Amino acid sequence: KTVWSKRKMTVWYDIVEPHPDIKEGNFDESIFAAKLGDVKNNRAPVEYNDPQIFFKKTFMTEGITDLISRVSDKLKNGKGPSVVEIKTPFGGGKTHALIAIYHFLKNGKTITDYLPKNIQLINAGISVVVGTDLNPAEGNIRDSLNIKTIWGEIAYQLGGKEGYNLFKKNDNDRIAPGKEKLLEFLKNKQPCVLLFDEVLEYITKARGVKYNETNLGSQTFAFFQELSETISSLTNSMLIVTLPSSHL
């Protein structure tokens, strides 16, 4: 026999009051589609764009707390891994974690009440690369420059036009620059963090761009190998990349 309790179960909305947009029937489910590129370009919904609202609505899981702590410790004290791969199933919060890191680095002083205790704030360079936002066939216009590759994006975001010009030929020729050139550039930009999202989507598109008997997808794949090895040799830099948990 199953013995059922005679106590009445409390209705969930008597314990936790729903957000006004839910109560009013105006809830937009697309708000869950976090987009790092939109946050960087200041065109995301306020729930993601405003660092205080973002952290107020974010449950600080052990994973996010650990990631922020790792970034702080690496950039400040040179401790911990240089390359971090965030791999979860689709919808597992990968992009949300990157946005948390972005706001931590860009707006840390405004969100200290929401951060892990004893966290060390730091001013650091940050590069954001979102594969679905980039056009490998035609390039992307940045400050009158037509940037054609991921290494061109990183150079421009961390070093402006001057930084891009160091990699201009590699960018125009769509040839990965090699570890030595990367190391010389990145060691002078420390502390810095490179955030990569939707990488597989970009490489899939880039494989269709043929140039000088090679293709941009293969060169991008080679570049990631060069970049991860270069970052691993630096003391106060990090590469954080998201990958879907799939056979690809």
pLDDT at 239 over 90: yes
Strand 83-88: give its sheet, edge to edge. 83-88, 237-244, 192-197, 125-130
In the chain, the percentage of residues whose pLDDT exceeds 90 is 69
What is the rounded average pLDDT of the residues 108-137?
A: 92
Better pLDDT: 121 or 116: 121
Cα 207 from Cα 218, distance rounded (Å): 7
Residue 102 in contact with residue 195, Cβ under 8 Å? yes
Please give, one letter per residue, the 3-state secondary structure of 100-124: HHHHHHHHHHHCHHHCCCCCCCCCC
